[in-house]
Amino acid sequence: MLIKIPASGECRESEVTTEAAYLSRRQILGGVMLSGAAAGLPALAKASERYPGVTSAPAPKWFADKLASARWQAVVPDGEAITPFADASQYNNFYEFGPNKGDPARHASTLKVEPWSVLIDGEVDQPGRYALEELCSESRLQERIYRLRCVEAWSMVIPWLGFPLADLIRKAQPHSSAKFIRFETAYRSEEMRGTRSGFGLIDWPYIEGLRMDEAMHPLTLLAVGMYGRTLPNQNGAPLRLVVPWKYGFKSIKSIVRISFVREQPITTWQSMAPQEYGFYANVNPKVSHPRWSQARERRLPGSLFSTNLRDTQLFNGYAEQVAGLYSSMDLSKDY
């Protein structure tokens, strides 16, 4: 595992020079050839040049401006292939658009992602409704190539573009009484056909939460893009959470509200099936789901000849960085 964690969204001279360390790794990143900043070239504004085959979606001006100064490959996995964009954008879980893996790609274009604002409330000095571009105004975009491990035992490797959630927390200035953060996805039945009928189990809106130290951890990302472009709607445009050491369901999509709260929030999956899905949801090969083992995972894409099975790693391979957050906890009880 090779990881560099920046202290903040700021650019530091020392980080720029260490990019050279990745040069030798470029060729093993697999399905996608990485170029640009890692090769000492200026950042390319077009996703199709950085990730061949990826379409550059029309991006708002603030995003295009930030892309020009993005820090590419700020965190990379050790020698693992990036999942092709086609898979990452067509095999999704986003129940607001339907229960099947292909539903989000088919139906999420109805979600209006511009303009977008986020309500920040609760125990903070700076509550209010912020335009998305205001929320990221002081942060430099970073590319973080993370493994994503779904609780359903499949996984991908996705190059996100975003900024640390810690940047936003500092901006909001929480009170010491704020112990958790609660996140809420948009709930617009006219734009989200999956919320209208059918998959009636879920009590919308989709809710997730983190403990404050998890939220402040430098690996915790708010993503606004992936594969060098804005997020496709099906991946949670225009703003989603990415917590790489937790099961994918913690990485809540299309966020409209971020609340600083005193009590541990009740999250969507936990409220549906508390014996199966916990608040912490840390990836753990030793703690089985009641209905299946979590010891192995299917890395997408598979092929006709291989399901591409591999061992699941504790904390999804990020144990060195995050195990300390849970040192006093029994991971089989606080699953």
Ligand X SMILES: Nc1nc2c(c(=O)[nH]1)N[C@H]1C(S)=C(S)[C@@H](COP(=O)(O)O)O[C@H]1N2
Binding-site residues for Mo-molybdopterin = 92, 95-96, 150, 185, 235, 240, 251-253
What is the nearest approach in angstroms of ligand X to the Cβ of residue 259?
16
Of residues 260 and 335, the one with the C-beta less far from Mo ion: 335
Of residues 22 and 95, the one with the C-beta less far from ligand X: 95
Binding site for Mo ion (CB under 5 A): 93, 150, 248-249
Question: What values do phi and psi take at 191, rounded to 5?
Answer: -100, -10
Of residues 162 and 248, the one with the C-beta less far from Mo ion: 248
- x/- string (CB under 6 A) for ligand X, residues 71-110? ---------------------xxxxx--------------
Residue 5 sits at the vertex; the CA angle it makes with 39 and 76, to the nearest 5 degrees, is 45
Of residues 96 and 297, the one with the C-beta less far from ligand X: 96
Helix (H, G, I), strand (E, B), or coil: what is residue 224?
Answer: strand
| Owner of token pair 């209010």 | 128
* Residue 253 is a binding residue for ligand X (CB under 6 A): yes
Measured CA to CA, the distance from residue 132 to residue 98 in angstroms comes to: 26
Q: Among ligand X, Mo ion, none, what does residue 95 contact (CB within 5–8 Å per kind)? A: ligand X
Q: Which residues ranging from 182 to 201 are in contact with ligand X (CB under 6 A)?
A: 185
Contacts of 333 (CB under 8 A, 6+ apart): none
How is 234-272 classified by DSSP, letter by letter? GGTTT-EEE-TTB-GGGS--SEEEEEEESSPPPPHHHHH
- Is residue 296 within a helix (H) or strand (E), and if so which, with residue range? strand 296-299
Question: What values do phi and psi take at 6, rounded to 5?
Answer: -75, 145
Question: What values do phi and psi take at 331, rounded to 5?
Answer: -65, -20
Q: Among ligand X, Mo ion, none, what does residue 92 contact (CB within 5–8 Å per kind)? A: ligand X
What is the nearest approach in angstroms of ligand X to the Cβ of residue 270?
13
Query: Which residue's CB atom is positioned nearest to ligand X?
Result: 248
* Residue 248 is a binding residue for ligand X (CB under 6 A): yes
Residues that bind ligand X (CB under 6 A): 92-96, 148, 150, 185, 206, 235-236, 248-249, 251-254
